[in-house]
């Protein structure tokens, strides 16, 4: 994943862009970049590894040396960016969020006719932002180039460009899986993945780009270069999990959606007769918490934080590459409030259950702390398909998914013919899936939010939502 932010202004805006990019730090952990333009200094750029230190500490020293009346920056889980490109379209800086899944085919195709080359290579992997710019540069202007790139790319690419005239070019991915928001204040305009980033800096909402829409922005206004397409498939997980609670996409605030989602889950449990004696409802911190608040408010059972993340010294600055050590860190961060756990019946809501490894540790530690029973709820349906549209790092392949692994265990690959039944807790297969996960993880009960429930909680036209990772529908 990743996110970008930019401003074009009549005054120096580097400090604002520094904060705006920092507000996208929850979207990536690997690498970040900052680039600026002003009439005297031209284009400048810096990229730093942020895998062991947050964006702010890696970039704050630049505030003394860099300046610009236009600037962009990004947080990325993939390639170093923004990249500086010299082409027939001038000198420009470019960054993207998303992933190009047919990169190899596009690279072969490009090399076969162009006689060109790629310079930004990490191991044997070509920087996807460089590939994107190679596609854009095949046409005579940005509008045609971006249109061509979007048509060629499988996957998702939202794009932010800083030109050598100081304008910004913002392009939302072809099917609008990720948001691109535009804000305005007296001295200019801002572009962001997360709208709260520019609200905090005094910008007001102007619009959200439509799918595939491209605009060029100067401090004086916006010019549409490519109109929006009709088909939209915005990622539902933005609301369920990785969008920041203070953000609003398609007019729907993330935190409010999570409260509604929890309330619908409580209704579902009541209607299905899944009423168990409970002392407290809690969220698996942090992203399960708002769903749990919604569940508790609707059910009338008190919300309590029976375990709390110890965050002061555990920023993401220590993030080992192997899963075992990451799980260990997740465990070390969780501190029990024993008084709220001992002899209590607890229900926890997690944002989703992907591999389940961390949940297993969590439940063990709740029992070690004296819990009488631990019931688990997932705020979304069982994840059956790894995301193929974004670089969504929570699952790399279908077989990493706990739901898939259990199906394989229960009836082999034949079981994959019955994914819909396994997703549905009212069917025999659905019940078996839930029972098996309960046994493995020692939950006293387990249920998932239904697909209808999560779609209702988001509340926009279901045709505009991507729900592929739950139902496999493109
Ligand atoms: S597959 Fe899932 S994570 Fe990927 S874009 Fe669709 S809803 Fe989002």
Index of the ligand 1 atom closest to the CA of residue 468: 1
- pLDDT per residue, tens digit, the chain (474 aa), is 899 999 999 999 999 999 999 999 999 989 999 999 999 989 999 999 998 888 999 999 999 999 999 999 999 988 999 999 999 889 999 999 999 999 999 999 989 888 788 887 777 789 999 999 999 999 999 999 999 999 999 999 999 999 999 999 999 999 999 999 999 999 999 999 999 999 999 999 999 999 999 999 999 999 999 999 999 999 999 999 999 999 999 999 999 999 999 999 999 999 999 988 999 999 998 889 999 999 999 999 999 999 888 876 665 545 566 777 777 777 778 888 999 999 999 999 999 998 887 788 888 889 999 999 999 999 999 999 999 898 665 556 788 899 999 999 999 999 999 999 999 999 999 999 999 999 999 999 999 999 999 999 999 999 999 999 999 998
Ligand 1 pocket test: which of 98, 383, 387, 467 has the largest number of ligand atoms within 8 Å of its C-beta? 387
Distances, alpha carbon 460 to alpha carbons 115, 239, 257, in Å:
47, 12, 11
* Residue for token pair 């969504």: 392
Cα of 409 from ligand 1 centre, angstroms: 25
* Atom 8, ligand 1: residue with shortest CA distance: 235
Asked if 260 and 457 touch (Cβ cutoff 8 Å), the reply is yes
CA distance 401 to 382: 9
Cα of 381 from ligand 1 centre, angstroms: 13
Distances, alpha carbon 70 to alpha carbons 42, 74, 112, in Å:
10, 14, 37
SS (H, E, C) 81-142: CCEEEEECCEEEEEEEEEEECCHHHHHHHHHHHHCCCCCCEECCEECHHHHHHHHHCCCCCH
Three-state DSSP class for residue 290: helix
* Atom 5, ligand 1: residue with shortest CA distance: 235
- For position 313, what pLDDT does the model report? 65
| Main-chain phi, psi angles of 93, to 5 degrees | -115, 140
- For position 391, what pLDDT does the model report? 67
Index of the ligand 1 atom closest to the CA of residue 236: 7
* Residue for token pair 């590894």: 49
- For position 394, what pLDDT does the model report? 54
Pocket of ligand 1 (CB under 6 A): 177, 235-237, 387, 389-390, 392, 466-469
Three-state DSSP class for residue 179: coil
- In DSSP terms, 97 is beta-bridged to 158
* Residue for token pair 């265990």: 409
* Atom 3, ligand 1: residue with shortest CA distance: 387
- For residue 70, give the nearest of 18, 20, 7 by alpha carbon: 7
The number of residues in the chain equals 474
CA distance 38 to 50: 26
- For residue 382, give the nearest of 424, 416, 413 by alpha carbon: 424
- For position 317, what pLDDT does the model report? 47
Cα of 301 from ligand 1 centre, angstroms: 32
Asked if 5 and 183 touch (Cβ cutoff 8 Å), the reply is no
- For residue 402, give the nearest of 434, 429, 427, 371 by alpha carbon: 434
CA distance 116 to 118: 7
Distances, alpha carbon 340 to alpha carbons 241, 302, 369, 372, in Å:
26, 11, 9, 11
Q: Note the pTM of the prediction, 2 decimals.
A: 0.93
- For position 314, what pLDDT does the model report? 60
Cα of 386 from ligand 1 centre, angstroms: 8
């Amino acid at each position: 994943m990743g996110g970008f932010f930019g401003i074009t202004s009549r005054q120096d805006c580097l400090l604002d862009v520094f904060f705006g990019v920092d507000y996208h730090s929850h979207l990536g952990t690997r690498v970040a970049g900052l680039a600026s333009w002003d009439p005297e200094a031209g284009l400048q750029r810096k990229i730093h590894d942020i895998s062991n230190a947050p964006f702010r500490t890696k970039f704050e020293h630049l505030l003394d040396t860099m300046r610009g009346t236009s600037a962009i920056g990004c947080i990325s889980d993939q390639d170093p960016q923004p990249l500086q490109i010299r082409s027939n379209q001038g000198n420009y800086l470019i960054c993207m969020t998303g992933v190009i899944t047919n990169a190899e085919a596009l690279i072969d195709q490009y090399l076969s006719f162009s006689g060109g080359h790629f310079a930004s290579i990490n191991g044997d992997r070509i920087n996807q932002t460089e590939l994107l710019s190679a596609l854009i540069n095949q046409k005579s202007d940005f509008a045609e180039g971006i249109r061509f790139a979007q048509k060629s790319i499988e996957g998702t690419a939202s794009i932010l460009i800083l030109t050598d005239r100081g304008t910004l070019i913002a392009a939302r991915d072809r099917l609008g899986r990720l948001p691109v928001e535009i804000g305005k204040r007296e001295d200019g305009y801002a572009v962001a993945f997360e709208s709260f980033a520019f609200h905090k800096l005094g910008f007001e909402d102007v619009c959200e780009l439509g799918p595939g829409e491209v605009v060029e922005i100067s401090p004086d206004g916006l010019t549409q270069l490519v109109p929006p397409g009709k088909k939209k498939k915005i990622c539902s997980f933005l609301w369920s999990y990785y969008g920041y609670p203070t953000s609003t996409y398609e007019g729907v605030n993330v935190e409010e959606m999570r409260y509604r989602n929890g309330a619908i889950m409580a209704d579902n449990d009541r209607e299905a007769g899944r009423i168990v004696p409970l002392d407290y409802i809690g969220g698996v911190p942090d992203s399960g918490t708002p769903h749990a608040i919604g569940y508790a408010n609707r059910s009338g059972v008190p919300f309590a934080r029976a375990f709390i993340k110890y965050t002061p010294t555990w920023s993401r600055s220590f993030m080992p590459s192997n899963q075992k050590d990451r799980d260990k860190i997740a465990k070390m961060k969780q501190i029990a409030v024993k008084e709220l756990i001992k002899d209590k019946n607890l229900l926890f809501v997690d944002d989703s259950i992907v591999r389940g490894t961390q949940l297993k540790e969590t439940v063990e530690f709740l029992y070690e702390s004296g819990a009488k029973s631990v019931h688990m709820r997932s705020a979304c349906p069982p994840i059956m398909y790894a995301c193929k549209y974004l670089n969504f790092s929570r699952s790399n392949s279908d077989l990493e998914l706990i739901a898939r692994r259990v199906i394989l265990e229960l009836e082999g690959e034949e079981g994959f013919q019955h994914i819909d039944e396994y997703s549905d807790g009212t069917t025999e297969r659905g019940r078996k899936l839930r029972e098996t996960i309960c046994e493995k993880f020692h939950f006293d009960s387990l249920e998932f939010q239904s697909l209808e429930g999560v779609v209702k909680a988001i509340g926009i036209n279901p045709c505009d939502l991507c729900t592929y990772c739950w139902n496999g529908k493109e």
